[in-house]
């Protein structure tokens, strides 16, 4: 399993998205993720962090990070059953998922040192 994680993890070094199934089958790497034709641009999301005293923040996805973060938020906005993961050079790892209760994208920002 560690070997497979290392192999798939290596594909994430390529610019673009790495797409895997829930069964961890690699579908694509270096993929450009675009908004679905029938969708609207993602306008809002909630951001949480596992930090004592941290409150959920409601913000526009562009306020959360750069192009990778915005693409991940849009992908989850379009594909509610998907999960998007973004590793940042600033040492944070953000997990994007659709929140059925909030009816919007939920981003959970994790410090890499916590992993």
User: How many whole angstroms separate alpha carbon 104 and alpha carbon 115?
Assistant: 26
pLDDT in tens, 3-42: 876 777 777 777 778 888 888 788 888 888 888 888 999 9
* 3-state secondary structure at position 111: strand
Residue 70, C-beta contacts closer than 8 angstroms, at least 6 positions apart? 42, 61, 62, 64
Confidence band for 101, pLDDT divided at 50, 70 and 90: very high
Tell me, yes or no, if the pTM score tops 0.95.
no
pLDDT in tens, 71-89: 999 999 999 999 998 888 7
User: How many whole angstroms separate alpha carbon 71 and alpha carbon 16?
Assistant: 10
- Specify whether the CB–CB gap between 94 and 108 falls below 8 A: yes
């Amino acid at each position: 399993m560690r070997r497979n994680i290392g192999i798939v993890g290596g594909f994430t070094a390529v610019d673009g998205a790495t797409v895997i199934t829930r069964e961890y089958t690699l579908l694509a790497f270096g993929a450009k993720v675009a908004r679905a034709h029938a969708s609207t641009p993602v306008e809002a999301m909630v951001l949480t962090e596992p930090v004592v005293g941290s409150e959920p923040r409601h913000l526009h996805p562009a306020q959360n990070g750069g192009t990778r973060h915005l693409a991940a938020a849009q992908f989850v906005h379009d594909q509610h059953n998907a999960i998007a993961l973004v590793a940042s050079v600033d040492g944070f790892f953000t997990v994007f998922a659709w929140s059925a209760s909030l009816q919007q994208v939920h981003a959970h920002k994790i410090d890499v040192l916590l992993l």
